Amino acid sequence: MTKLDELFVRLRAEKKKAFIPFITAGDPSLEATAKILRRLDQLGCSIAEIGIPYSDPIADGPVIQASYTRALGRGIKLSQIFDTVKQTAPSLKMPLVTMLSYAVVFRKGPAQFVHEAKQAGFCGAIVPDLLVEESDELSAVCRGEDFNLIQLVTPTTPRDRAVRIAERSSGFIYFVSVTGITGERQELPPGLLDQVTWLRQRTDLPICIGFGISQPEHVKILGPVADGIIVGSALVRRIIEGESAGEAAMLQNVDELVQRLMGAL
Q: Residue 229: which of 22, 89, 40, 35 has the closest Cα?
A: 22
Is residue 49 annotated as part of the catalytic site, yes or no? yes
Q: Which of 5, 27, 41, 49 is catalytic?
A: 49
Neighbours of 59 (CB within 10 A): 17
Q: Please tell me the distance from the alpha carbon of residue 237 to that of residue 101, in angstroms, as a whole number.
A: 21
Is residue 136 annotated as part of the catalytic site, yes or no? no
Q: Which of 60, 136, 167, 227 is catalytic?
A: 60
Q: Please tell me the distance from the alpha carbon of residue 228 to that of residue 10, in angstroms, as a whole number.
A: 13
Angle at 36 between CA 57 and CA 125, to 5 degrees: 45
Catalytic residues: 49, 60
